[in-house]
Amino acid sequence: MATRKKNDAPPAKDAQPFADLMQQMAHLPQISPAALVELQTDYLRQATALWNASLGQGEAPAATDRRFAAPEWRSNPAAHFMSQLYLLNGRTLGRMAEQVEADDKTKARIKFAVQQFVDAASPSNFLALNPEAQKLALDSHGETLARGLQQLWGDVQRGHVSQTDESAFEVGKNVATTAGSVVFENDLFQLIEYAPLTPQVHARPFLLVPPCINKFYILDLQPENSLIRYAVEQGHRTFVVSWRNPDDSLGHKTWDDYVEDGVMAAIDVVQNITGAEQINALGFCVGGTILSNALAVLAARGDEPVASATFLTTLIDFTDTGILDVFIDENFVKFREMQMGKGGLMKGQDLASTFSFLRPNDLVWNYVVGNYLKGETPPPFDLLYWNSDSTNLPGPFYAWYLRNFYLENNLVQPGKLTVCGEKMDLANLTLPVYIYGSREDHIVPINAAYASTQVLPGKKRFVMGASGHIAGVINPPAKGKRSHWIRADGKLPATLDQWLEGATEYPGSWWTDWSGWLKGHAGKQVAAPKAYGKGARFKAIEPAPGRYVKQKA
Q: What is the 3-state secondary structure (H, E, C) of 182-249?
A: EEEECCCEEEEEECCCCCEEECCCEEEECCCCCCHHHHCCCHHHCHHHHHHHCCCCEEEEEECCCCHH
Q: How far apart are CA 133 and CA 155, in angstroms?
A: 19
Instruction: State pTM to two decimals.
Output: 0.90
Q: How far apart are CA 537 and CA 269, in angstroms?
A: 10
Count CB neighbours of 367 within 10 A.
Answer: 21
Residue 26: predicted pLDDT: 52
Residues 548 and 245: beta-carbon distance below 8 Å:
yes
> Hey, which residues are catalytic here?
285
Look up residue 27 and give its amino acid. Answer: H
Mean pLDDT by 10 residues, the chain (553 residues): 46 51 58 91 92 80 84 92 94 94 91 95 96 96 96 90 92 97 98 98 98 96 97 98 97 98 98 97 98 98 98 97 92 96 93 88 93 94 92 97 97 97 97 98 96 97 96 95 96 98 97 98 96 94 97 86
Q: How far apart are CA 240 and CA 189, in angstroms?
A: 10
Among candidates 63, 86, 78, 90, which has minimal Cα distance to 134?
78
Helix axes 143-158, 131-139, angle to 10 degrees: 110
Residue 4: predicted pLDDT: 45
299: enclosing H helix or E strand: helix 286-300
Q: How far apart are CA 30 and CA 53, in angstroms?
A: 34
Residue 354: predicted pLDDT: 86
Residue 270: predicted pLDDT: 98
Up-side HSE of residue 375: CA atoms within 13 Å toward CB?
A: 19
Look up residue 58 and give its amino acid. Answer: G
Q: How far apart are CA 497 and CA 461, in angstroms?
A: 16
Among candidates 322, 319, 325, which has minimal Cα distance to 455?
319
Please provide the CATH number assigned to the domain covering 180-347+392-550.
Answer: 3.40.50.1820
Which phi and psi (to 5°) does residue 110 adopt?
A: -65, -45
100 in helix, strand or coil? strand
Residue 25: predicted pLDDT: 46
